[in-house]
Structures are given as structure tokens and as C-alpha cells.
Structure 1
Amino acid sequence: MLAHRAEILDEIERRRYALNLSLLKIYSYYRLLVGLGLAVVFQQNVMGSAIGQLDPVAFLRLTLLYSLLNVVSVIFLQVVPRRHFHTQLFATALGIYDIVVLTALMYFSGGLGSGIGLLVLVSVATGAILVTGRRALLLASLAAIGMLYQELYLSLTAPQYPYDYFQAGVLGALCFGAALALQYLSQRVRDNDIRALTQAAELSDLEQVNRQIIQRMRTGIVVVDAANHVRMANQSARALLGVPGQDDLARLPAVLERHLEAWRQDTERRAAPFHAAPGTPEIRANFSAVRSDDPSADVTIFLEDTSEVQQQAQQLKLAALGRLSASIAHEIRNPLGAISHAAQLLHESQVLETGDRRLTEIIRDHCKRMNGVVENVLETSRRRPPSPVRLPLGSHLAEFVTAFRDASADAQICVNVDPYDTEVRIDKGHLDQVLTNLVSNAVRHSREHTGRPIVHLRGGIDSRTERPFLTVIDEGPGVSEDMEKHLFEPFFTTARSGTGLGLYISRELCEANQARLTYERADGGGACFRITFSHPDRIIA
């Protein structure tokens, strides 16, 4: 607040300096015209003027000197620097100089009857505008004293000329009145200027805060005019619509423009979720007219990433699964344990034939597989709420690879994160669990297909959406088109010993952290799983 006050006062001083300098230039031209005008009137004796009649020689010399000095002041004010010039002091000096010279010229012209006293009043009034505080009263005091003194001196040295103390007093009072009135008005103008600048600064601050809030909101906001030209769009809107970096969003994507035109025709219509461009998240658009009574004019578009809605649905699904898991624990796990124990006892029997012993092994293997399914379902049902933190992707992957190789020493994991300091916002434990599942699958498929347990981890920032991403690529045979649509379904597996819950749980964990896990075909023919993280800086819903 104090900094703002200081900035406002500095701005007031700058503006006042510029205004005073401009007024001084105008006043200097006026003074030059006054000097030349008095000289012309004196020389031509216009309409029998009494100017200079008491002492013509002194009047002419003083008028010419006054005009010459006024020319000097005009030139000086044209070349004076814009800063570091004391306009207050200069205006005060000019005011005193004018009052002294004009009072002397008034005396040489025979007193107040010459009319020069009005020029003194103008000088006092101008000085009151240009200077502040006591300087204005100083000028008024000098003018009043000067007029009274010259009337007194006139009565003593030239009694043949009429003198009027009352008129001199009235004119002196007018000088004081003009000085006080103009000082008051000048102070009012300064106060109003300070108030206006303060309000402007506050409005600018509010605008800046609003702009920052809008830019950091996860909700995309776009404002368009009647012709669907984009007037404003925040960063989230650019990311959701697939506009890279800071590029301007001049026009809406065609699919969004169609939804907007349909809404203009029917404001009760709700737009279906859509993808603005390949690789962008699924979004839902809501529309609101800037002027509520005119949907054909400017419209504000709110873009919501449907992953948030999916997350809410996911929480409901997990809650339902939790209730189901309690039943599974009692209805399946206990009988399954009894079956497995009985098979173990049969397997240890000395009278069991070799063929029957193989049957007990089959029973035990399937009991173990079923127990794994139950464990995975229970783990999913007990899923704790995510605690997302900011993680440097490059260094975290290095730590993960080190830990993974402790369990799988022959795994060849190639990491490439560009830029290396890319940050993601996710629950650290959830990310490690997802990576463990994806990398384990990739190692297995690469080994089975090429004999090399190699995996490629590549991360960075998507230039279209500005969101960080991570891909896990293997050198396996890839996934057929028929199987792609079933990859993330629970209990779907291509491995004889798999439970079919690994990819399902991985995707659920990603969605719980506002991330997306998708499958893509790798360029070399292998499988590529891509994690698209939420923007680490946009945390306002």
C-alpha cells in the first residue's frame, strides 16, 4: 500500500511538473505580448492613452528591458530539460519580477488610472496557479503592498495626478481573493487527481489479480464476439483446445463453433463432450451470454476437462467396489483358503498317484491365481485418496529405475526426459505403482519378442497442451486392433498367469490424480503407453 502511495505521488509530481512547464511556456508568451503591447501602445499613443505620461523615457526603457527579458525566458523554457527543473521557484521569481516591473510601469503611467493594475492581478492569479502554499500569498502580499506604495509615492512626488487609496486597497484585496480561490481550486484539482490515480491503480491491481486468477484456473475460459472472433482466452483454454504455447487463439475450433451456434439457436441446449483436436483431452463446453438478454452478442465459454467428472464417478465406483470387496473377503477368500489347504494336504499324501498329484498342483495354481485377483480387488477398494506433490520427472525416473533394477537386474531401461527438470503433479506412491506395472509388462513383452528386456521411458512437455507427459515403450509385438478396446477392462489379460487388473488399476490411479493413461502404437511396432499429467501450476478448480 505504501509503495502504491509513493508511486501515485511520483506520478502526481511528474504530471504536475509537465503541466507547470506547459503553463510557464504559455505565460512566458503572454508576458512577451504584454511587454510588446505596452511598447506599441506607448509609441502610437493609442486613443490618447495615459500610459507612460509621468516619465515617458523611464517607461520606454523599462518596457523594452521587460520585453527583452521575456524573450530570454521564452528561449530558456524551450531548451530547459524535461526533468530537474524547479518550476515552483522559477514561477515565483517570474511573479515577483512581473509585480515589481508592472508596479513601476503603473507609477510611470500616473497610477491606477492607467489600467496596468489589472495586469498585476493577472500575474498574481497566474502565480497562484503555478505555485503552492505560501508562495501564492507572498505574491498577493507584494502586489497589494506595491499598489498601495506606488499610490502613496505618487501622491508625494506628483500630486497633480489623481491617486486613489481605496481603489488600490480593493485591487489588493482582489489579489488576495484570487490567490486564495485559485489555491483552493488547485488543491481540489490535486486531490481529485490523487483520488483518480489511486482508483486507477486499485482498478489496475484488481484487473491484474483477475487476470492471474483467470489464467491459473483449470477451467478454460474463452470470450467471443457476435462473429465468433476470440476476444480473450486463458492458458487452460489454449491447452484444452490444443493451441501451443502463447499462440493467439483467433478463431474457435470448428467443433466448438458448431456447438456455440447450436446454443445461440437454443440456449437450453447442452453440448456433448468432444475433443477439440487430436491428442487433446475430452472437454465439455458451457455457454453464457455476456448480456443475459442477448445470446447472439458476446458469449463466455467455459471449458471443463471431463476427467474431473470421471474422477468423481471413479470415487463412487471405488466406494461401490469397497462394499463388494467386503463380501468377496468372506464369501470367496475363506473357502478359497480351505480349498488350497486341502489341495496341499492331498499333494503331501503318500498314497496319491502321480496323475492325481498333478491335479492337486492345478488346483493350487488356480487357487493362487484367484487369491491374487481377490488381493488386487481388495487393494483397489482400499485405495487411499491421492496426495499429489510436485515431482521433478527426470530425477524421479532415475530413482525409480535404480529401485526397479534391484528386483530385475537384467532390465535395460532407457530414460530420456526433455527438458530434464520437467515437473509433474501426482501422488508419488501412485506414480511408482503405475510405472512398476507398465515397465514390468514392457520388460516381459520385449524379452518374449526380441530376447532383450529393454524399455524406453520418454518424458517432456506436450507443445499442444502444455501438459507434461511420459511414455513407456517396449519392443514387443504390440497390441492388435481387436484387443486395443479391451486393454483397460478389468480381468482382461493375454498372459496365462495374469489377473487382468494391472492396466485397469493403473488407469484408475492416473485418473484419481487428474492424469490420463492411453495406449498408442509405437513407431517401431511395439506398444506405447502414454501418461498425460495435469498441468502442475493450474490447481484452481
Structure 2
Amino acid sequence: MPHAPPLFQHATIRRERYFFTLYRLFEAALLCLVVFSPVGDLLELPRHPTAAKWLAAGYLLIAVVLFVSGRHSRIRPQVLTGIGIDIWFCTLAMYVMPSLAGGIAMLLLFNVGAAALLLPARYGLIAAACAVAGVVTQYLLGAILGDGQTLRPLAELLMFAVSYLAIAALTGVLGAQMRASEALAEQRGSQAANLAEINELIIRRMRTGVLLVDGEGEIRLANEAALIHLGDAGHGRRSLATCTPELKQRLHQWQRSGSNDATPLQLKPDQPEVLPRFARLLAEGDQVLIFLDDASLASRRAETLTLATLGRFSASLAHEIRNPLAAISYATQLLQESRDIPEADLRLLEIIYQQTHRMNGIVENVLGLARRERAQPEQVDLREFTRAFVADYLETQPPDNASIEAHLPGAPVIAMVDRRQLQQIVTVLVHNALVYGRMPGEPARIGLHVHLDDKGAPLLDVTDRGPGIPEAVAAQLFRPFFTTSSHGTGLGLYIAHEMCEANQSALTYVPVPGGGACFRIRMAGTRAIETR
């Protein structure tokens, strides 16, 4: 909890100090009025007229000085000095003007209370004790000198003493509460100001554009993200219809029907599309907040939710689909071994087997996406790995009229990667090259190239001689569920990309100038692992 600000910083305390000094000035002026004006003739003459005049004049002068200097001095020293002077002059005034002793003692009661209000409790009680001492001193002087005029009743003395102490205790408690409330209010105000600055900073730095539009359609406020979408049109108070007519039309439609068009909107040609949302600043007000959400971010959030749902669904998918597929595949293989089945039916069984195999591959892709198994990197010689991969692939899945060649360096190329996951990654890339990486009417020609880049990082390229990939399609290759084929799931390249990231590797698409496509896997070498 932050420390309370110093006493002299409180506006309330300064105001109370001002009235205290003003009251002292009134006391001194009243004393001078009694001494110097004909009003004093109505009262008994002072015991020492000359001393009374000098005392009243001096008190008035000091009261003026304290009143003027009180605006710029610290409260505690100024109040301590003022109450000390008050007690001193009041004690002398009660002695030289015994007929006014009761009234002067009564006026001093307010001074003691005001000092206890403005000072800590112990200082207030000390001031009250000094005032009691002053009254007692005046009483003792009268008793010692045997002056009946000066001597006041003892009961009156006791009542003033009790009054001074009681008023000091009471106003001291009130003063402590007042200072605590003032400090708490200032602390809360400071916190509120800080929160306001933080809120303003958050809104200004939000990736979502925020616009405040008044009832006349003028842009009152815009954060940084909104200014990026609006450009120069977002500066100052501009008309929304002039800056972005499409957005103004969406706002008018929302105000009229209450429905919001969910179609993405592009405010500037070089900026991404946004999804505008509208909300009234106040329930009955005419000012409207417009939120400009990046459509690509919303799409990625939707993809994340879809993938999360797909992951939960995959557990039941494994039991509900894989087991029947395995039974169908096994029964089909048994029927194919039978000698009593005609040739035409064997072709139908082959189609059934191929389709069940394809469906099983789709299930495997979904399960691989959901499992997100942790990579276990090891030292892998990419030259030997590629040679063995090509041999195994040709043996288990011989491509029709297609060629798969390995282009290997003379020296071993060592990479830190999970061998099993690298096998899955390369399998996906080779399968895509077999399906999409061929010219119409020609067999696919696939190459696996192992080499090092300029920095010595191991690379494995999977290339083909097909038509290549358009730039617009290449930008979305690794997004989930993106596919250009009616038979694809759009998960193969996404899963391969995720596996590469799990192995601290990178999967990228590299355009080939002479035609074709190249998917490059950049892996971590042994040196990179040692220095990490």
C-alpha cells in the first residue's frame, strides 16, 4: 500500500489552516477594537493601558504575518508556531485586562480545537496542556499578588481546563479521521488516474481497431489499429461517410435493423479484411463504438476451436471407425485369396480395399493431429535415412510409372530429429508429390535431395516436376483443412508442419524457377544443439 502523501499536500487541511489564521486575525482585530476604540470605554480600563495597546498591536501584526505566510509554509511548523503565540498573548492579555479574562479564555478554546484538528493527537494535547498552564499561570499571579480583580473563581479555572483538554481530544480524533479520509481519497484518485492511463494505453495498443462515432457520423476517437485501417482519413474529427462509405453503410444498417453483417470488409486495398462490430457507448446515447476485428485473426481463432473440437472427437473416432475399417479390410483380403471369385468381382474387392485404406489414412491424419506426441530428437544421418526411406517406400507402395530418386552427398549429414516423426513428414510430402506433382499424362518424378545450407544446417528437399503451386495457394499451404482437391482433408501438410516445429525444424515451400515444387525441411544440426 503506498504511503499517504505529506500533510501539507491535502487541500482540505490547507483550507482549514486558512480559516484558522483568519480566525486569529479576527481575534487580534477584536482585541485592538477593545483597546483602541471608544468601545473600550464601556468596559473597565485595563490594569496597564500602555501594555495592553502594545500587546494588541503586536498580536495583530503577528496575526497578519501568519495569515500572509500561511499560504506557502508547511502546516505543522506554522500551526505549532501560531498556537504557541496564541497561548502566550492570551495569557498576557488576561493579566493586563482582567475584566476580559473570561472572554479571552473562551476565544482561546477555539484556537486549541483548531490546532488539535490540524496536528497529530499528541501535539494537540500538548497545546491544550499549554493553554491550561496559561490559565493556571494567570490565576496564580492573581493569587500571589493578592489582586482580587485578577483572581478568577477556581471552578471557572477547572471548567476551562477540562474544556481545553476535551476539545483537544475530540478534534484530534476528528482530525485523524479527516487526514486518513483525505489520504485514502487521494490514493484512490491516483489509482483511478493510473487505471485510466492503463486503459487508454491498452485500448490504443489493441490489435482490434476501436472507433468512437458520434450521432452526426463524425469520428471522435480512434486507436492505433483503427488508424492503420483508415490511414490518413482517421486523423482528427472526420466524417465516417467520407472516410469509409462501406463502414458507414454497415453502421446505418445496424442502427436501423439491429443486425450486423458478418461479411469481411476491406477498408483499404493494402490492409487485411476486418469484421466490424457495433455497440452503443451508452444505452440511450447516440455515440457508437465500432470494433474492427482482423478477419484473419478471427479465422485462426475459428480454426483453433475447430482443431480443439476435432481433438476431442478423435478419441471416439478411433474406436468407431478404425475397428470397422480394419474388419472390412481384413475380410476383403480374405476374399481376394479365394479361387472361386470371378475376375470382375476381384476388381470390385480391390476398389473396396483401396477405399478402406484411404479412409484409414484420413483417420490416421486426424489422430496424428490430436495426439501431438512429443518429439524425441536423436542423431540421424540424413544420407542413410533417405536411402532407406526410398527403398522401403518403393517396396511397400510402388508408384505407378513414377520414379523416386535420392540425391545424396558424399559425406554423412547429421541432423537432430525424431526419426519416426521425420518418416511421417517425408511420407506426407512424397505422397503429395505423387498425387499433385505431375504434369497431365506424364508420370511423377520425385527427388529427395540431402545437402547443407550456407550456415551448415542440414536440409532435406522433396521436389517434383509438376506444374508448381500458385503464389496465392502457396501462402495457405500449411493451414489446417486447406486443400485444392475434392478428395483431400487439408491436414497432411499441416500435421507435417507441426511435427517439424516440434523437432525445432522448419518446413517451407520453395518455388522452382524451371517448374515444379520443392518442400524443404531445415533441421537442427549437432552444433546447433550443443550451443543451445
Correspondence for 2:33: 40
| Distance change >3 Å, CA 60–CA 153, structure 1 → 2 | same
2:88 corresponds to 1:100: yes
Give CA deviations for 1:116-147 in whole Å, capped at 9, x if unaligned.
11221122122223322311111111112222
Output aligned runs, 1:7-406, within 5 Å. 9-10=4-5, 12-16=6-10, 24=17, 27-46=20-39, 48-50=41-43, 52-74=45-67, 76-77=69-70, 82=72, 85-110=73-98, 115-155=103-143, 156-160=145-149, 163-243=152-232, 247-248=235-236, 250-252=238-240, 253-292=244-283, 294=284, 297-311=286-300, 327=358, 337-340=399-402, 366-368=443-445, 381-384=492-495
1:50 maps to amino acid:
L
Structure 2 residue matching 1:242: 3-state secondary structure: helix
Cα deviation for residue 275 of structure 1 reads 1.4
Give CA deviations for 1:246-289 in whole Å, capped at 9, x if unaligned.
94574432221221111100102425322112322111212122
| Distance change >3 Å, CA 21–CA 285, structure 1 → 2 | closer
Q: Do 1:325 and 1:381's aligned partners in 2 also have CA atoms closer than 8 Å? A: no
Structure 2 residue matching 1:382: 3-state secondary structure: helix
Give CA deviations for 1:457-515 in whole Å, capped at 9, x if unaligned.
xxxxxxxxxxxxxxxxxxxxxxxxxxxxxxxxxxxxxxxx547xx8xx99xxxxxxxxx
Correspondence for 1:484: none
Q: Do 1:52 and 1:108's aligned partners in 2 also have CA atoms closer than 8 Å? A: no
Cα deviation for residue 103 of structure 1 reads 1.7
Correspondence for 2:380: none
Cα deviation for residue 305 of structure 1 reads 1.7
Cα deviation for residue 15 of structure 1 reads 1.4
Give, in whole Å, the separation in 2 of the partners of 1:230 and 1:383: 42
| Distance change >3 Å, CA 310–CA 120, structure 1 → 2 | closer
Q: Do 1:128 and 1:136's aligned partners in 2 also have CA atoms closer than 8 Å? A: yes
Output aligned runs, 1:493-508, within 5 Å. 497-498=515-516
Give, in whole Å, the separation in 1 of the partners of 2:440 and 2:282: 71
Q: Do 1:111 and 1:150's aligned partners in 2 also have CA atoms closer than 8 Å? A: no
1:59 maps to amino acid:
A
Correspondence for 1:511: none
Give, in whole Å, the separation in 2 of the partners of 1:385 and 1:239: 35
Q: Do 2:119 and 2:175's aligned partners in 1 also have CA atoms closer than 8 Å? A: no
1:15 maps to amino acid:
Q
C-alpha RMSD over aligned residues: 4.4
Give, in whole Å, the separation in 2 of the partners of 1:37 and 1:283: 77
Could you tell me which runs of 5 or more consecutive residues in structure 2 were left unpaired when the two chains were aligned. 311-354, 362-393, 404-438, 447-462, 470-482, 499-503, 521-532
Structure 2 residue matching 1:285: 3-state secondary structure: strand
Give, in whole Å, the separation in 2 of the partners of 1:158 and 1:367: 132
| Distance change >3 Å, CA 247–CA 97, structure 1 → 2 | same
Give CA deviations for 1:425-468 in whole Å, capped at 9, x if unaligned.
xx9946xx35x42xx54xx6xxxxxxxxxxxxxxxxxxxxxxxx
Q: Do 1:289 and 1:300's aligned partners in 2 also have CA atoms closer than 8 Å? A: yes
2:400 maps to amino acid:
A
Cα deviation for residue 95 of structure 1 reads 0.8
Give, in whole Å, the separation in 2 of the partners of 1:173 and 1:48: 33
Structure 2 residue matching 1:53: 3-state secondary structure: coil
Give, in whole Å, the separation in 1 of the partners of 2:26 and 2:42: 18
Cα deviation for residue 304 of structure 1 reads 1.7
Give CA deviations for 1:199-239 in whole Å, capped at 9, x if unaligned.
22333343344334433433222233323333443322222
Give CA deviations for 1:168-214 in whole Å, capped at 9, x if unaligned.
22122222222122211111111111222232233334334433443
| Distance change >3 Å, CA 161–CA 274, structure 1 → 2 | closer
Q: Do 2:70 and 2:78's aligned partners in 1 also have CA atoms closer than 8 Å? A: no
Structure 2 residue matching 1:304: 3-state secondary structure: strand
1:223 maps to amino acid:
L
Give CA deviations for 1:132-164 in whole Å, capped at 9, x if unaligned.
231111111111222233134224432146622
Give, in whole Å, the separation in 1 of the partners of 2:229 and 2:94: 81
1:107 maps to amino acid:
Y
| Distance change >3 Å, CA 161–CA 326, structure 1 → 2 | same
Give CA deviations for 1:322-354 in whole Å, capped at 9, x if unaligned.
xx9984999xx999823347xxxxxxxxxxxxx
Q: Do 1:112 and 1:164's aligned partners in 2 also have CA atoms closer than 8 Å? A: no
Structure 2 residue matching 1:383: 3-state secondary structure: helix
Output aligned runs, 1:386-535, within 5 Å. 429=506, 433=508, 436-437=510-511, 440-441=512-513, 497-498=515-516
| Distance change >3 Å, CA 95–CA 49, structure 1 → 2 | farther
1:123 maps to amino acid:
N
- TM-score normalized with structure 2 length: 0.57
Give, in whole Å, the separation in 2 of the partners of 1:428 and 1:224: 47
Could you tell me which runs of 5 or more consecutive residues in structure 1 were left unpaired when the two chains were aligned. 342-361, 388-426, 445-496, 507-541
Q: Do 2:260 and 2:277's aligned partners in 1 also have CA atoms closer than 8 Å? A: no
Q: Do 1:41 and 1:49's aligned partners in 2 also have CA atoms closer than 8 Å? A: no
Cα deviation for residue 308 of structure 1 reads 3.1
